[in-house]
Structures are given as structure tokens and as C-alpha cells.
């Protein structure tokens, strides 16, 4: 018997992985990947929205890539990653052009429609940086169970769009790094005060890009603790 391996870095645990395409209402083809548990049905689905493409964000941005690499096996979750319009990655380039978070409304809708069409259960939106803006602006859709906001900059989401989440029964959790480049915990609490049901969690020592295994594990643990509590906290070693 081989020894367990440490879960860190670029490790990729077993899963069924499928290159997928989605079509938006304005006729664009978006490319992505769906990862699901290898031998069981998923208990829930993460719909991930990547950081700003004009600053290097794409479906392989490391926290999202690690979620897809680990969580189907470790937490029985399906993970959908895709490139928003005009964004490229090794998977390919989605059609269209970056639209400052406006046309991307159709991209979010296409992802949620894809989840519905595949019969994937209980979608939760996981937005990171620019992806949090899309989640706040366009995530209040039927069937969405909750939203995670990783490093929300709140550059594009207006006060009215944040306030629209007030009294929404779904969980909305903002993970705000102590040393974020754009929005730190104290300011985040002020900005989110118009929707006091949004849970703001300050993450000590973390930065906007969540660099390092401790930061990655904290993010994934927070997600799993809410989406599939039975699988939390995530182990640090995996049978080989």
C-alpha cells in the first residue's frame, strides 16, 4: 500500500472531468470544464466566476482550479469553471469581448442554465474579485442556494445592487483578506451594511490573490463548511 499524499499545490484528485461549451442568449459560445465526483452523484454544485480577465483572471485562476481539482473527490461537489466572454485559457477562448461586467450578465445566466440542463443539484455561486461583482449583480436567480464572495473589490456592484440582497434567505458569505489591495475588512463591513445579512469574514494574513496553501485551504474549508458540512474540515492528506 502506498502512503497518503499531502493535499497542496497543484495536486489533482480523481474526478470525472469534461470539457464543455455553453451558449449565451446573445449567441456567444463560452468554453469551460465540469468536474464531478468519480463514483457518486454530487451533493451540490459550485458555479465559479473568475477574476478580472484584463488583469489575468480566467477559469484556471488558482483557487478555482484547486477547487475543481480537489472538491469533487474530497467533498462530493460538482465544480463548473468557464471563461467569460473574450477570456482565454489553455482550455480555449470564449467568444465575444470583455464588457466591463455588463454583457457578462448573459454569461452568468448561461452557466446557471447549463447547471439546470444537466440536472446538477443545489448551485452555489463562487465569485472571486471581478467574479464577485457578477455574483452580486446577477446571482439572485431562482435555484441559486447561496453565494461566496472571495476578495470583493466592490468596484462595479452598486449600493443598490448590494442592498437588493437585504433579507434574502440565501447565504451570502464574503471572505475579505486582511491585506487586500482593494477592500479590507473594516471598509467591507461598512459597504455591506446596507445588507446586514451578508456575512463578512476577515481572513487574517491573507491577500487579494489568496497565495499560499494556508489561504487556499481556508477558502475551500469555508465553502465546504456551508455547502457540504459533513465533509468539513477538508483533510490535508489523501489516500494514494
Give the per-residue pLDDT at 61.
98
What's the distance, CA 231 to chain centroid? Answer: 18
Reported as a single tens digit per residue, the pLDDT across 15-68 is 999 999 999 999 999 999 999 999 999 999 999 999 999 999 999 999 999 999
**3 — pLDDT class (breaks 50, 70, 90):** confident
User: Mean pLDDT across the stretch 228-232?
Assistant: 98
Residues 96-117 as b/e (b if ≥16 CB within 10 A, e otherwise) read bebeebebbbbbbebbbebbee
The DSSP symbol for 151 reads: S
pLDDT digits (tens, 9 = 90+) for 147-201: 999 999 999 999 999 999 999 999 999 999 999 999 999 999 999 999 999 999 9
DSSP string across 174-188: EEEETT-SS--HHHH
Homologous superfamily of the 19-228 domain (CATH): Alpha/Beta hydrolase fold, catalytic domain (3.40.50.1820)
Q: 179 with 151: CB under 8 angstroms? A: no
The average confidence (pLDDT) of the chain is 97
Residue 1 in this model has a pLDDT that exceeds 60: no
Q: Are 150 and 63 within 8 A, CB to CB?
A: yes
Amino acid at each position: 500500500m502506498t502512503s497518503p499524499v499531502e493535499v497542496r499545490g497543484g495536486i489533482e484528485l480523481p474526478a470525472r472531468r469534461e470539457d464543455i461549451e455553453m451558449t449565451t442568449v446573445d449567441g456567444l459560445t463560452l468554453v469551460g470544464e465540469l468536474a464531478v465526483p468519480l463514483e457518486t452523484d454530487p451533493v451540490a454544485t459550485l458555479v465559479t466566476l473568475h477574476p478580472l480577465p484584463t488583469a489575468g483572471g480566467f477559469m484556471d485562476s488558482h483557487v478555482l482550479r484547486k477547487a475543481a481539482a480537489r472538491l469533487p473527490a474530497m467533498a462530493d461537489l460538482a465544480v463548473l469553471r468557464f471563461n467569460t466572454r473574450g477570456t482565454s485559457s489553455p482550455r480555449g477562448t470564449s467568444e465575444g469581448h470583455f464588457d466591463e461586467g455588463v454583457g457578462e450578465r448573459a454569461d452568468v445566466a448561461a452557466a446557471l442554465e447549463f447547471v439546470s440542463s444537466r440536472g446538477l443539484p443545489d448551485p452555489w455561486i463562487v465569485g472571486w474579485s471581478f467574479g464577485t461583482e457578477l455574483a452580486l449583480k446577477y446571482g439572485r436567480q431562482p435555484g441559486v442556494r447561496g453565494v461566496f464572495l472571495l476578495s470583493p473589490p466592490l468596484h462595479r456592484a452598486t449600493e443598490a445592487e448590494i442592498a437588493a440582497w437585504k433579507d434574502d434567505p440565501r447565504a451570502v458569505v464574503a471572505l475579505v483578506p486582511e491585506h487586500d489591495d482593494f477592500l479590507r475588512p473594516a471598509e467591507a463591513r461598512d459597504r455591506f451594511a446596507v445588507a446586514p445579512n451578508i456575512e463578512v469574514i476577515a481572513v487574517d494574513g491573507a491577500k487579494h490573490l489568496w497565495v499560499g496553501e494556508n489561504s487556499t485551504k481556508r477558502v475551500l474549508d469555508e465553502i465546504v463548511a456551508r455547502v457540504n458540512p459533513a465533509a468539513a474540515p477538508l483533510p490535508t492528506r489523501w489516500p494514494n
